[in-house]
Each structure stands twice: as C-alpha cells, then as structure tokens.
Amino acid sequence: MPFTERFDDDISFLQDVPIAKMIFHFTSTEMMQRIVTDIKPITDGCLAVSFSSNRYVELNQLAVDKGSGLKKLAEILQVDLAETIAIGDNFNDLSMIETAGLGVCVNNGRSSVKQAAQYVCTADNNHHAIREVLEQFVFNQQERMNLYAKLEIKQ
C-alpha cells in the first residue's frame, strides 16, 4: 500500500482519505506516553492504540491486530489455530501471542509479553530466537509431542 510521509502540522489533507493505519515516531518514551494520554478521549472506543517499540505508537481500527491477522491466515491456510506458533516481543504482539497455539516471547521482550507467553526464549530477537523456537518445537519430535499433549492436540 503506498504511503505519504509528511513533516508538517497540517493534517487537513486526511479529511476524505480512508486510513488503514497510523504510526507515530517519537524520540522519547515520555513524549509517547503524553501523546497517548492526550489522544485517549478521541481514540477510546474507536481505535486500538499500541506500542511497537520504544519509538512507535500505532493506531489501528478496533479488532485489527496481529491476533486477528493470525486467525485470518490460519483460516485461509486451513490450519488449526492450536497448531500455530507466534513469536513476539512488544505490546503490539500480545494479541497474536494470546491467539496462537503456542505464544512465544523473545528474551528481551517486555515483561507483560513474557507473562502472556507460554514459552520465553533464552535467546533474544538479535540472537537466534526464531532458530531456538524451530529447534525446540518444530524439529524436536519429543518436545513437539509434549507440546501437543499439553495443548491437548490429537495426532
């Protein structure tokens, strides 16, 4: 989808444009928190606001998140959600981690994401976390069987 990058305060050009997503970049966490607090009366109940790092605030339509995307992908591919794995590290990954059959957080992920995950990697996102998950749960037959038993998936 094409996008336009703007660096001015005039947003009147958006009045008649359908917007799928907005991302704001900030250089300070304090500024991010202030903006989210300031826009809460406008966004509450009509937009989902999430953080995707220490720099970005994302605004999406309600119910448009990585979890709903995973559900749609599983439906298209005809894969049971119980057989999916989602790996994430930040607040915008929570819905995906909670939706997947196995929710995984990388070692340097946010603590609330770690709490939501069923497995926390020993590796971080810069040091082979995906490889760890593949070796542990996809290529390791015994661990896969243990996971299936835990999730009550029949083979």
Pairing of the two strands 21-25 and 56-61: antiparallel
Do residues 146 and 129 make contact, with C-beta atoms less than 8 angstroms apart? no
Provide the pLDDT for residue 84: 94
**CA 141 from centre of chain:** 28
Please state, as a whole number, how many other Cβ atoms lie within 10 Å of the Cβ of residue 20: 9
pTM to 2 decimals? 0.71
Provide the pLDDT for residue 78: 94
Provide the pLDDT for residue 1: 59
Give the 3-state secondary structure percentages of the chain, helix then strand then coil, rounded to 5: 45, 15, 40
> Which residue ranges in the chain fall short of pLDDT 50?
none
Dihedral-angle region of residue 56 (phi above 0 means left; psi in -120 to 50 means alpha; beta otherwise): beta
Provide the pLDDT for residue 154: 55
Do residues 59 and 51 make contact, with C-beta atoms less than 8 angstroms apart? no
User: Quick one: CA dihedral 146, 148, 150, 153, positive or negative?
Assistant: negative
Do residues 97 and 117 make contact, with C-beta atoms less than 8 angstroms apart? yes
User: 93-131 as b/e, with b when 16 or more CB fall inside 10 Å?
Assistant: bbbbbbbbbbbbbbbebbeebbebbbbebeeebeeebee
Provide the pLDDT for residue 153: 61
